[in-house]
Structure formats: structure tokens, C-alpha cells
């Protein structure tokens, strides 16, 4: 063993200098912890190395998590590590992050690790890509038009892969391969990673206003310090927050460290990508669920090998193997899409702050409607608070008005009030654009029988079936069950009595088309927008005024600049308010504010109408007065009174299974063993609002503690003895956002 001169040799440096003989290996599987393995004499391993090991009768890939503790499994039962993989090691901070998230969410560390290793092929050496070019050999073959097209194309282009060549020529890849087999084309190897342009920090951004410059300078200074800091960049939609945090990214690029930007809805981020590319002269690397396997592989590898200076991604991008992350930006930090609801249940915004802490780097949270949690952290001085008070340039915030539906009742089977119809007419006459917002997909949320009152419900869930008239189906939005709309009531056999109740966007579109038959209308929902390319095209159509009326769900609410859009009609402003959810008011406020923010973003002023039966509700008051602070203060006071988050801690436990009595029995016994400590309360069990989901019966327990209580410790002790039958599942959600 090498003896260090320094007297303060810590355990970890000893571990590093001493050859690891036995290692703990974390496998990306939901196991309790890491497994011990022996390191064969010819293998040098260090913590963070990706390796293969035997697991039962198969081979598994894992990560060296450290030295095995003494007194583990007996030497003769220990198996040997098979090999070290040719991939950069996982940095120490990434490993600590996995452990941290695991401990916080009470998920097995291997389940968290799986998110960091979601692309197993990235760990294998890259296969060189095969490309094709014209061979010099004078070969005669039978010509077909497909072959001719390929040969004409290859004449003046560099070697291309079979897929590219086939796509360009409009033929199948077999045509290309056939030509190669015949010797007319020859195969050449392309370098695995062809050179990509990198974002250039020295590209100039726009001239910033005084407020913008001040915020940008502040953030640049934070990046230079390379220490942990959290800043809230808070400003109305259109204030230029993106331009400001681009400055922080430029600073971080100059320092040579990596940047991660988290966006809630990557499918809709074409505009963001375009802006980034314009600003920095090259696109960032991307990480989201719409990537192909080979794109995922390329991004994962580029991140691990420090070839991706900026990554923009959805929440799971947090678990990419950054060797040198220097800055995290969470745009639209209040957005619910940052909460992952199944598997490892975590909130990416909160975990981004943790990741910044562990990595001793700055994190910037960006929003026009920051979450109450974040505002309170800013008010308490835990976060820096940067405010951009005004829209950039001439753009003004829209005027927001309430349409009181109690005084102005809607006509039967109509969802647009006279006021809103008039506003639409004026807008269209002025040659401007309108958005009708309704956060409900499909044609009608409920179908019932007018003879007996029978409601069409999902057989697997406690939920109504939603009529989708375009696809001619009744659909469950929870489990995907679908059926055709019956003509005969399944309960009373009455014929032709099934009626649609309430509006969805399809029905609203029907009404708008009837009222304005000449207007060009488009509907944007997750049903009509399939993938980022389709989304980008729709957004472009709106921006370039190829559409007069846009009808959409929340996917149009976010981030876009539509210069001709001057009218926003919120068809049902009350929609999100019911349902006893802790954050119902806050979320409705955020959503409606974001939607309102689509109006009047350029030189033309905008107007917003909120159709509501509760014109005096604090949410409507805050939206019309623009007094966000007062609204947040009132919300905070309510939560503080009840010790609700962020003034207390909360965890939801949902037990589910197909056997209702079994689930009931287990939840009752779980409630009996609940901890009885000071500052801890356990509520329930109670049937979850979706008492049945995908055929599983669900019971909820809620653990509510004071802020001073270590909630995870209480949960761990409580659940340590729990033995669940394999048919019953327990899902733990720390800091729940959904109460369904
Ligand atoms: P936010 O992110 O706060 O909603 P953006 O950064 O999207 O605001 O800015 C709104 C619009 O104003 C964008 O089109 C942006 O390019 C433009 N903009 C913002 N600041 C400036 C500036 N200093 N110079 C020129 N254009 C700007
Ligand atoms: Zn269902």
C-alpha cells in the first residue's frame, strides 16, 4: 500500500490508492441496494466505472458504487466482475445524486440508477456506420427506375447511409443494399460521430434593457463564482427572461462547463430551439422521450464525453452522466410536467436544486407565475429573487376581463357568451387572431342516456368515457379503454337517446365554425399534435397567421409568441378549481395567466375574457387585477394555517390491487401501525378519488408532518416491517402534487 505523506489520509483517498478487491455494484434494477462482487486480479476498477457482472444466469450492466464493506457475503459465494465497459465513469456527484434521490423518494437506488442508464447501448463501443458510394468497377446490371434514382443521386453527393440514401431517393433500403451486393455501390465506413457545430458563447445576443442587463450581470456573476446558488428569475411573459438566462449560459459556455436546461414540454419547444440556435450559432443536444434509440445513444454518449456543452431536456435529463455540469436552468419552474408520477416519483425542479447543491453550482428557476414554494423560498432569502417588471419593447400586458355567466347565461348547447362572440367578431374583422382555451380534449366529457340517466363509464376506472367524435369513439383518458358510441342505451335499451354533455375542444370548434364559417380554424390538443415536428408546424402556421381561430388545451398555453394573437377567450375558467386539491387555485391561476400571456405579445394590444360562474373567486380577482402578490399571500396564509406544504411535509401512499378486500385489509393494518410521534399525522385510509384505475382498487393514506420532522425517516420506520403480497402495490409519493 502506498503511504501518503500527508497525515490526513481520508478513507476515500485510501480507497482510491488501494486497488479495489471487492466492490459494491449498483445494478439498474429495483433491488434493495448494491451487490458485492470480487474484482479479478487483471482488472483495475474505480468507483463510477461501468461494468458487467453475472446476475443469476445472465449478465447485467452496473456501476461500481464503491468498496464493499467488510463482513459482506462469504468469499466463496462471491462472483467475479466480468469486464469494465468502454464508457466514461459516472462522476462522483452523479452517484451521490442517485443516492440522494433514492433516499428522498424512498425508491430503490437501482430504480433511480436505471434513469441514469436508460440507454444501455450507449455503454458499448460505437459501431462504425456504413455508407455507400459509386464503385469504379464497370458492372452491368439490370436497371430499374428505383436503382436509377439511387445512382443519379449518389453521383454528386458524399457517401451516405442506406437509410439516408433510400430516403432521399424515395426507395426502400433493400434497393441500396442490392446495388451494393451487385458491386455497383461500394461500402465505406463513416466515422462514428461526425463533427457537429458547438454553441459559441461569443455570438452576440440582443441589446438588453437596463432591467434585463442587471439581471443578466447578476446571473453571470453567479456562474463565475461556481458555487451553489439558487435564483428565481421572475417576470411577466414576454419580459425577456429567456434572453437573460441565455447570458448565464454564455458565461458558463465560456468557462467550458456544461449547462442543462429543463423544459416542461419538449414536444413544443421548437421555438425555443430556434431561438437558442439563432443566439449561439448551433443547436443544443436534446433529451426527451421522442428521440429514437440511436439519438438517445448519441446524446448520452456526447454528454458523458463532454462533447455536449448544452443539453435541453425533459425532467429525466437530470440523470444524464454530466462529467462537469456548471449550470442548471429550469424554465417554467411552476409547471406540473416536472413532476414524474410513476416509477421513481420525483419533482424535477426540486431535484434540480438538489443536484445544484451537490455539484456546488448555480441553478436558475424561471417563471412568470412561480410556484408558491419557490416564492416563499425567495421571500425567506433562500433563493435570490430577480424581477423583470415589464414586457420587452412596446408590448403591453393584456387587459383581463371577467364574463359573469350567472348574469349572462349561455344559450343551450352553446359555450360562448354573447360578450365573447362579439369580441371574436371584432377580432376577426380587424384581421387579427383569437385563441379559445378549453382544457378538455375530445367532443364531450360525458355521454348519458336521456331516457334513464345512465352515464357511460369506463369499466376499469372510476371515470366517465370521453367522446372523441373525430375518431368516432368513447375513450377513457386514464387507461386507454375505447369503445364505439352506442345507439342503444346499455342500461335501458332505449334507442337514439344517448346525448353528449358539456363541451370538449372538438365541440367548441363545431360551435366556432358555425358562428364564423369563413374563419380558418385549427384545434391543438395532444390528440391532434403528434410529435415535435407536427407541433412545430402548427406553431409556425399560427405565427405566420395562416389561422384565424386557434382552439386548444393547455398545450397552447406555454411560451409561444404569436404576434397577431390579440384575443384570448377562456371558455371555462372554473374548470381546474373543483376537486379539493391543495394546489387547485394556484394551478388554475398559473395556467390561466400563462394562457392570457399569449395575447398581445407584439405591437398589438391584447384582451382576455374569462367565462366564469365565480367572478369573485380569488383566482379571477388576481387575474383581472394583476395583483399576484396578494393572491400568493392569501394562498400562503391558508396553507400555513393547516401546516400544508411548504409549511409542513406531506407524503401520499397509494395501495392498489385487483382484490378490493385484500387492499382494504392491508391499508387498514397499515393505518394501525402508523407512527405516533409528535408532529406526525396519518390520514386515511380512504378510497382514492379514482377508487378504481385500470382495474385496480386504490386506497390512500396521507402522512402529514411538521417541517421539523424527518418525514423519510418516519416513513422508513413505518414501512420497514411491511410485507406486501405480490398482487398489491404500494406507491409512495413524497411531496404529492396529484391527489387522485
Ligand atoms: P419571456 O421568456 O420572459 O417570456 P422572451 O425572452 O421570450 O420573454 O422575450 C419575449 C420576446 O421579446 C422575444 O421575442 C424576445 O426575442 C424579445 N426580446 C426580449 N428581450 C429583448 C431584447 N433585449 N432585445 C430584443 N428582443 C428582445
Ligand atoms: Zn379507464
Q: Which three cell numbers stand for residue 426?
A: 371584432
Ligand 1 nearest-atom number relative to CA 275: 16
**Distance from Cα 611 to the centre of ligand 1, integer Å:** 30
Which is higher by pLDDT, 265 or 458?
A: 458
Query: What is residue 559's predicted lDDT score, i.e. its pLDDT?
Result: 64
Rounded CA-CA distance 629/600 in Å is 23
Cell numbers linked to 140: 452491368
Q: What are the respective helix, strand and coil percentages of the chain, to the nearest 5? A: 35, 25, 45
Pocket test for ligand 1, best of 242, 335, 368, 590 (most atoms within 8 A of CB): 242
185-197: average pLDDT? 72
**What pLDDT was estimated at residue 452?**
94
Q: What local confidence, expressed as pLDDT, does residue 301 receive?
A: 92
pLDDT exceeds 50 at position 7:
no
| pLDDT score for 192 | 56
**pLDDT score of 285 more than 60:** yes
Distance 671 CA to ligand 2 centre (A): 28
Q: Per-residue pLDDT averaged across 492-518, rounded?
A: 95
Residues facing 472 on adjacent strands: none
Q: Which residues contact 184 (CB under 8 A, 6 or more apart)?
A: 134, 135, 137, 139, 141, 147, 151
pLDDT at residue 11 in the model: 42
Name which of 5-19, 43-57, 187-201, 726-740 the model is least confident about.
Answer: 5-19
Which pLDDT does position 3 carry in this prediction?
Answer: 33
DSSP track, 559-580: S---TTEEEEEES-TTTTT-S-
Asked if residue 635 lies in contact with residue 375, where contact means CB atoms within 8 angstroms, the answer is: no
Averaged pLDDT for residues 559-570: 88
Q: In a 10 Å sphere around its CB, with 0-12 CB exposed, 13-18 middle and 19+ buried, how is residue 329 labelled?
A: buried
**Cell numbers given for 193:** 460521430
pLDDT at 294 (0 to 100):
83
Q: What is the dihedral of CA 11, 17, 21, 22, to 10 degrees?
A: 40
CA 553/CA 439 separation, integer angstroms: 4
Let me know: does 398 contact 562? Beta carbons within 8 Å.
Answer: no
Strands 607-612 and 565-570: parallel
Higher-confidence position of 529 and 62:
62
State how far Cα 630 lies from the chain centre.
30
Phi, psi of 100 (to 5 degrees): -65, -50
Smallest CA separation from ligand 1 atom 10, residue:
238
Residue 554 confidence class, pLDDT cut points 50, 70, 90 = confident
Measured between alpha carbons, how far is 576 from 614 in angstroms, rounded to an integer? 12
Mean local confidence (pLDDT), 528-545 = 84
Query: What residues contact 247, with CB distance under 8 A and at least 6 apart?
Result: 205, 208, 216, 219, 220
Higher pLDDT, 13 or 570: 570
Do residues 38 and 80 lie in contact, with contact meaning Cβ atoms separated by under 8 Å?
Answer: yes
Within 13 A of 64's CA, how many CA atoms are on the CB side?
31
Q: Is 206 in the pocket of ligand 1 (CB under 6 A)?
A: yes
Q: Which residues contact 211 (CB under 8 A, 6 or more apart)?
A: 388, 389, 390
Give the contacts of 270 (CB within 8 A, at least 6 positions apart).
532, 535, 536, 539, 540
Closest residue by Cα to residue 239 from 559, 19, 463: 559
- For 53-101, the DSSP string reads EEETTEEEEEEEEEEPPTT-S-GGGPPBP-EE-SSPPPPHHHHHHHHHH
**pLDDT tens for each residue of 298-356:** 899 999 999 999 999 999 999 999 999 999 999 999 999 999 988 899 999 999 999 99
Q: Which three cell numbers stand for residue 85?
A: 465497459
pLDDT given at position 76: 84
With a CB cutoff of 8 Å and minimum separation 6, the contacts of 735 are 347, 350, 645, 649, 650, 651
Closest ligand to Cα 213: 1
CA of 692 to the centre of ligand 2 (A): 9
DSSP string, 541-554: HHHTT--SEEEE-G
- Whether residue 169 is predicted with pLDDT greater than 60 in this model: the reply is yes
Count of CB atoms situated within 10 Å of the CB of 412? 5
How close is the Cα of 591 to the center of ligand 1, in Å? 20
**Is the minimum distance from the CB of 208 to ligand 1 under 6 angstroms?**
yes
State residue 2's pLDDT score.
Answer: 34
What is the mean pLDDT of the segment spanning 272-282?
93
Q: What is the pLDDT of residues 714-728, one digit of tens each?
A: 999 999 989 899 999
Residues 6+ apart with CB under 8 A from 473: 467, 482, 483, 484, 485
Instruction: Write down the pTM of the prediction.
Output: 0.86
Contacting residues for 321 by C-beta, under 8 A, at least 6 apart:
88, 90, 91, 94, 116, 300, 303, 304
Find out whether the beta carbon of 239 lies less than 6 Å from any atom of ligand 1: yes
- Torsion 643-690-654-553 (CA) sign: negative
Could you give the CA distance from residue 524 to residue 551 in angstroms, rounded to a whole number? 6
pLDDT digits (tens, 9 = 90+) for 243-265: 999 999 999 999 999 999 999 97
Instruction: Report DSSP letters for 313-335, one per residue.
Output: E-GGGGGS--SSEEEEEEETTT-
Lowest mean pLDDT among 118-132, 174-188, 189-203, 713-727: 189-203
CA distance 331 to 306: 23
Q: How far, in Å, is the centroid of ligand 1 from the Cα of 621?
A: 28
> Does the Cβ of 362 fall within 6 Å of ligand 1?
no
Q: Is 516 helix (H, G, I), strand (E, B) or coil?
A: coil
Nearest CA to ligand 1 atom 25: 206
- CA pair distance 671, 410, nearest whole angstrom: 48
Can you tell me which atom of ligand 1 is nearest the CA of 388?
Answer: 3
Tell me the torsion sign for CA atoms 556, 559, 565, 568: positive
- Predicted confidence at residue 510, as pLDDT, reads 96
Mapped to the 3 state alphabet, what secondary structure does 339-401 carry? Answer: ECCCCCCCEHHHHHHHHHHHHCCEEEEEECCCCHHHHHHHHCCCCEEEEECCCCCCCCCCEEE
Q: What percent of the chain has pLDDT over 70?
A: 95
Residue nearest to atom 14 of ligand 1 (CA): 561
Whether 8 shows a pLDDT value over 80: the answer reads no
Asked if residue 399 lies in contact with residue 607, where contact means CB atoms within 8 angstroms, the answer is yes
Please give the pLDDT value at position 14.
46
Specify the length of the chain in residues: 740
Contact 701, 670 (CB under 8 A): yes
pLDDT band of 268, cuts 50, 70, 90: low
Q: Is the beta carbon of 205 within 6 A of some atom in ligand 1?
A: no
* Segment 323-332, tens digit of pLDDT: 999 999 999 9
> For 311, phi and psi rounded to 5 degrees?
-120, 130
Is 70 exceeded by the pLDDT of residue 167? yes
At 1 the pLDDT is 33
18 pLDDT tier (thresholds 50, 70, 90)? low
Q: Which has the closest alpha carbon to 610: 444, 443, 423, 429?
A: 423
Cα(242) to ligand 1 centroid in Å equals 7
For residue 424, the CA-to-ligand 1 centroid distance in Å is 27
pLDDT of residue 138: 77
Residue pLDDT, tens place only, 397-415: 789 999 999 999 999 999 9
CB 238 less than 6 A from any atom of ligand 1: yes
* For residues 224-235, average pLDDT: 96
Enumerate residues with CB within 5 Å of ligand 2 (an ion): 458, 460-461, 476, 478-479, 481
Q: What pLDDT is recorded for position 226?
A: 87
| HEC readout, 159-222 | CECHHHHHHHHCCCHHHHHHHHHCCCEEEEEECCCCCCCCCCCCCCCCCCCHHHHHHHHHHHHH
Q: What's the Cα-to-Cα distance from 536 to each of 441, 540, 542, rounded to whole Å?
A: 20, 6, 10
CA angle 145, 147, 148 (to 5 degrees): 60
Query: What average pLDDT does the structure give for the chain?
Result: 90
Q: Are 326 and 306 in contact (CB under 8 A)?
A: no
Candidate ranges 58-72, 530-544, 566-580, 650-664; pick with highest mean pLDDT: 650-664
| Grid cell in block for residue 90 | 459516472
Closest ligand 1 atom to 559 CA: 4
Residue with CA nearest ligand 1 atom 5: 240
> What is the distance in A from the centroid of ligand 1 to the CA of 250?
16
Amino acid at each position: 500500500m502506498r503511504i501518503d505523506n500527508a497525515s490526513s489520509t481520508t478513507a476515500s483517498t485510501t480507497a482510491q490508492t488501494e486497488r479495489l478487491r471487492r466492490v459494491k455494484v449498483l445494478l439498474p434494477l429495483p433491488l434493495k441496494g448494491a451487490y458485492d462482487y470480487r474484482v479479478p486480479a487483471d482488472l483495475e476498477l474505480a468507483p463510477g466505472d461501468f461494468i458487467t457482472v453475472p446476475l443469476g444466469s445472465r449478465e447485467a450492466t452496473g456501476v461500481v458504487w464503491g468498496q464493499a464493506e467488510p463482513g459482506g457475503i462469504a468469499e466463496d459465494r462471491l462472483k467475479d466482475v466480468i469486464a469494465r465497459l468502454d464508457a466514461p465513469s459516472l462522476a462522483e456527484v452523479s452517484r451521490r445524486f442517485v443516492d440522494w434521490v433514492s433516499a428522498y423518494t424512498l425508491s430503490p437506488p437501482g430504480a433511480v440508477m436505471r434513469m441514469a442508464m436508460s440507454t444501455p447501448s450507449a455503454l458499448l463501443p460505437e459501431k462504425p456506420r456504413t455508407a455507400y458510394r459509386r464503385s469504379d468497377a464497370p458492372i452491368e446490371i439490370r436497371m430499374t427506375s428505383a436503382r436509377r434514382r439511387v445512382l443519379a443521386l449518389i453521383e454528386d453527393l458524399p457517401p451516405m447511409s442506406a437509410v439516408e440514401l433510400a430516403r432521399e431517393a424515395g426507395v426502400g433500403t433493400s434497393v441500396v443494399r442490392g446495388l451494393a451486393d451487385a458491386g455497383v455501390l461500394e461500402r465505406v465506413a463513416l466515422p462514428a460521430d461526425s463533427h457537429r457545430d458547438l454553441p459559441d458563447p461569443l455570438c452576440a445576443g440582443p441589446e438588453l434593457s437596463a432591467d434585463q442587463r442587471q439581471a443578466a450581470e447578476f446571473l453571470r456573476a453567479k456562474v463565475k463564482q461556481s458555487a451553489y446558488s439558487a435564483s428565481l428569475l421572475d417576470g411577466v411573459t414576454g419580459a425577456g427572461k429567456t434572453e437573460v438566462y441565455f447570458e448565464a449560459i454564455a458565461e458558463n459556455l465560456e468557462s467550458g462547463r456544461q449547462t442543462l436546461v429543463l423544459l416542461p414540454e419538449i414536444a413544443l419547444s421548437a421555438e425555443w430551439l430556434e431561438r437558442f440556435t439563432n443566439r449561439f450559432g448551433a443547436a443544443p443536444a436534446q433529451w426527451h422521450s421522442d428521440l429514437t434509440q440511436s439519438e438517445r445513444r448519441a446524446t448520452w454518449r456526447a454528454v458523458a464525453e463532454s462533447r455536449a456543452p448544452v443539453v435541453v431536456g425533459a425532467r429525466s435529463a437530470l440523470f444524464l452522466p454530466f462529467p462537469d455540469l456548471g449550470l442548471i436552468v429550469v424554465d417554467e419552474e411552476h409547471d406540473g410536467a416536472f413532476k414524474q408520477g410513476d416509477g421513481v416519483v420525483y419533482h424535477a425542479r426540486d431535484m434540480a436544486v438538489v443536484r445544484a447543491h451537490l455539484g456546488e453550482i448555480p441553478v436558475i428557476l424561471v417563471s412568470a407565475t412561480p410556484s408558491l414554494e419557490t416564492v416563499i423560498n425567495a421571500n425567506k432569502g433562500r433563493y435570490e429573487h430577480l424581477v423583470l417588471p415589464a414586457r420587452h419593447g412596446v408590448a403591453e400586458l393584456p387587459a383581463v376581463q371577467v364574463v359573469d355567466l350567472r348574469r349572462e347565461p349561455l344559450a343551450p348547447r352553446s359555450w360562448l357568451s354573447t360578450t365573447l362572440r362579439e369580441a371574436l367578431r371584432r377580432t376577426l374583422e380587424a384581421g387579427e387572431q383569437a385563441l379559445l382555451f378549453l382544457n378538455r380534449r375530445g367532443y364531450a366529457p360525458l355521454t348519458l342516456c336521456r331516457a334513464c340517466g345512465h352515464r357511460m363509464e369506463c369499466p376499469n376506472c372510476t371515470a366517465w368515457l370521453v367522446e372523441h367524435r373525430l375518431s368516432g369513439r368513447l375513450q377513457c383518458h386514464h387507461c386507454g379503454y375505447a369503445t364505439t358510441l352506442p345507439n342503444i342505451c346499455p342500461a335501458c335499451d332505449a334507442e337514439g337517446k344517448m346525448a353528449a354533455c358539456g363541451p370538449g375542444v372538438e365541440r367548441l370548434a363545431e360551435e366556432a365554425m358555425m358562428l364564423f364559417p369563413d374563419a380558418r380554424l385549427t384545434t391543438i390538443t395532444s390528440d391532434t399534435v403528434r410529435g415535435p415536428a407536427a407541433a412545430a408546424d402548427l406553431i409556425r402556421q399560427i405565427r405566420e397567421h395562416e389561422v384565424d381561430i386557434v382552439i386548444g388545451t393547455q398545450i397552447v398555453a406555454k411560451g409561444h409568441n404569436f404576434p397577431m394573437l390579440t384575443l384570448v377567450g377562456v371558455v371555462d375558467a372554473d374548470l381546474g378549481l373543483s376537486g379539493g386539491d391543495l394546489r387547485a387555485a394556484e394551478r388554475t391561476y398559473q395556467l390561466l395567466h400563462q394562457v392570457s400571456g399569449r395575447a398581445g405579445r407584439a405591437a398589438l394590444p391584447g384582451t382576455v375574457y374569462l367565462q366564469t360562474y365565480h367572478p369573485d373567486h380569488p383566482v379571477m380577482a388576481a387575474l383581472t387585477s394583476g395583483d399576484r402578490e396578494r393572491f400568493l399571500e392569501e394562498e400562503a396564509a391558508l396553507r400555513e394555517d393547516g401546516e400544508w406544504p411548504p409549511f409542513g411535509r406531506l407524503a401520499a401512499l397509494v395501495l392498489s390491487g385487483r382484490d378490493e378486500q385484500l387492499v382494504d385489509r392491508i391499508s387498514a393494518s397499515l393505518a394501525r401501525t402508523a407512527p405516533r410521534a409528535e408532529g406526525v399525522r396519518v390520514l386515511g385510509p380512504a378510497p382514492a378519488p379514482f377508487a378504481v384505475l385500470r382495474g385496480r382498487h386504490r386506497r390512500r393514506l396521507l402522512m402529514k408532518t411538521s417541517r421539523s420532522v424527518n418525514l423519510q425517516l418516519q416513513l422508513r420506520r413505518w414501512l420497514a416491517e411491511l410485507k406486501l403480497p405480490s398482487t398489491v402495490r404500494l406507491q409512495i409519493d413524497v411531496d404529492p402534487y396529484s391527489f387522485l
